Amino acid sequence: MNTNILIIGGTGKTGRRVVEQLQKKGIEPRIGSRDASPSFDWHNKDTWVGALDGIEKMYVTYYPDLAVPGAKEAISSLTYLAKELGVKKMVLLSGKGEIEAEACENIVMNSGIDYTIVRASWFNQNWSESFFLEPVISGEVALPMSDVLIPFVDVNDIAEVAATVLLDDTYNGQIVEVTGPELITFKDIIKIISKTSQRNLNFNEITLEQYIEGMRKMHMPNDVVWLIEYLFSHVLTNPKNQQVVHDVERILGRKAKTFLEYAEETAKTGTWNQSEMNMSK
pLDDT tens, 259-271? 999 999 999 999 9
pLDDT at 11: 96
Kindly list the distances between the CA atom of residue 20 and the CA atoms of 117, 124, 170, in Å, as whole numbers in the listed order. Answer: 20, 19, 22
How much is the pTM?
Answer: 0.95
E strands in 102-139? 114-120
Asked if the model's pLDDT at residue 52 lies above 70, the reply is yes
Q: Which of 278, 279, 130, 128 is nearest to 197 (CA)?
A: 128
Q: Which of 150, 174, 109, 176 is nearest to 235 (CA)?
A: 150
Residues ≥6 apart with Cβ < 8 Å to 263: 124, 192, 193, 195, 196, 197
User: How sure is the predictor about 239, in pLDDT bands with cuts at 50, 70 and 90?
Assistant: confident
* Strand duo 174-178 + 89-95: pairing: unpaired
Please name every residue paired with 184 in a beta bridge, in sequence order, or none if there are none: 150
Cis-peptide into 64, omega within 30 deg: yes
Asked if the model's pLDDT at residue 55 lies above 60, the reply is yes
Asked if the model's pLDDT at residue 275 lies above 90, the reply is no
Backbone angles phi, psi at 14, to 5 degrees: -90, -40
pLDDT at 192: 98
Kindly list the distances between the CA atom of residue 37 and the CA atoms of 3, 51, 52, 161, in Å, as whole numbers in the listed order. Answer: 12, 8, 12, 26
Measured between its terminal Cα atoms, the distance across the chain in Å is: 45
Angle between helix axes 99-109 and 71-84 (nearest 10 degrees) is 10
The span from the CA of 218 to the CA of 155, in Å, is 26
